[in-house]
Amino acid sequence: MAQSKAKRYASLAVIVGAVIVMVSIMMKPSVPTGSKTVSDKKTELSDKKELFVPEEAVQVVLDAALTENPALRENMPVLREEVERSLKAQEMMVAEAIERGLASSDAIARNRLSELIMMSIYQEADVGVTPEAVRGYYESHKEKYFYPRARRVQHLFVQVTNVTDAEKARATLEQLFRQAKGAVSKQSESLKHAIAPVWITREELRTRFGPTFEKEVFSLPIGDWSEPIQSTSGWHRVRVLEETPERQRIFDEVQAEVEADLRRKLREDAYNKEIERLSKKYNVKISP
C-alpha cells in the first residue's frame, strides 16, 4: 500500500508544474514589489525583497491539480506544500528574469507582457457591454442592420481567360444558353448546377463582377433571360426569378451581432485611449 502511494505521489511535481503553466496563461501574474524589504532588521533576511503569491493562485492550482488527479485529495498537506513550493519558485524566477532584463530582451516574454496589457484594457472595456448599452447602440446605428435588396437569379457565365478570348467566351455562352432553354433531360449536370437559382445582393455582384454589371442585373425585368451582358470578367446571361426589398432587421434578429459590434467599438476606443496615455509617459524611438 505504501509503495502504491509513493508511486501515486511521485508524479505530483510534474502534475503541479503542468497545472502552473496552464494557470499562468489564464491568470495575471503577480508583480514583484521590488524594493520592499522585511521590516524586522533583527533577522539576517532583512535585505531580501518580498514577493507575494496570492492565496487565490494557490487555490486555483490546487483545484486544477485535483481535477487532473482526484486521488491527490488523499494527502492534501503534501499537495499544498508542493503547490506552494512550485508557485514560490515561479515567483522568484519571474522576479529574477525581470531584474536581469530578460523580459525586455526575449520576444516571447515581450509579446506575453503586451498581451497581458491588452487583456486588461479589453476587460475594462467589456464592463460597458450591458444589455442597456447594446440596445442603445442598436438604436443609434440602425442603418447598419438591415437586409439589403436581393434578387434570386439564374446565371450563365463564361470567363475570359488567356485561353478563352472574349469572342470565344461569348460563343460558348450562347451554346450553353441554347442548352439551358432546351429540355431539362438533355442538360448536363454541370449546366444544371450552373443555372441553379441563387440569391444575390448588389454588393456581392459589384464585388465580384464590377459596378456596371451590378447595375445591369438589378435593372432587369423579372421573368425573362437577359441578352448577353459583358463584364470585366467575361460574358453573362441572367434570368431574374424574384426579388426581396430592403428591410430593417429587428433587434432580436441582430442582438448578438450588435453586442459584438459594441464590444469591438469599446475595445478600440479603450485601446486608443491607453496608447494616447502611454505616449505621454514614454518617448519611443526607432533605434538605428
- Could you tell me if 77 and 169 lie in one domain? no
Residue 278: inside a domain: no
**Based on the structure, what is the number of domains in the chain?**
2
Residue 60: inside a domain: yes
E strand intervals along 62-136: none
Rounded distance between C-alpha atoms, residue 117 and residue 112, angstroms: 9
Residue 88: inside a domain: yes
Give 13-61 pLDDT, tens digit per residue: 544 555 555 544 444 444 444 444 444 444 455 567 888 888 888 898 8
What confidence score (pLDDT) does residue 18 get?
Answer: 57
Residue 133: inside a domain: no
- Could you tell me if 98 and 163 lie in one domain? no
Q: Which residue has the higher pLDDT, 192 or 20?
A: 192
- Could you tell me if 18 and 75 lie in one domain? yes
The answer to whether the pTM exceeds 0.85 is no
Rounded distance between C-alpha atoms, residue 90 and residue 24, angstroms: 10
- Could you tell me if 96 and 7 lie in one domain? yes
Domain that holds residue 65: 2-36+46-106
With cell 510534474, the residue in question is: 14
Residue 262: inside a domain: no
**How far are the Cα atoms of 163, 168, 227, 228 from residue 174, in angstroms, in the given order?**
18, 10, 10, 8
With cell 445582393, the residue in question is: 201
In the structure grid, which three cell numbers stand for residue 235, read together? 460574358
Give 73-103 pLDDT, tens digit per residue: 888 888 888 888 888 888 888 888 888 887 7
- Could you tell me if 80 and 10 lie in one domain? yes
CATH assignment of the domain containing 170: 3.10.50.40
What confidence score (pLDDT) does residue 154 get?
Answer: 94
Residue 270: inside a domain: no
Residue 282: inside a domain: no
Residue 119: inside a domain: no
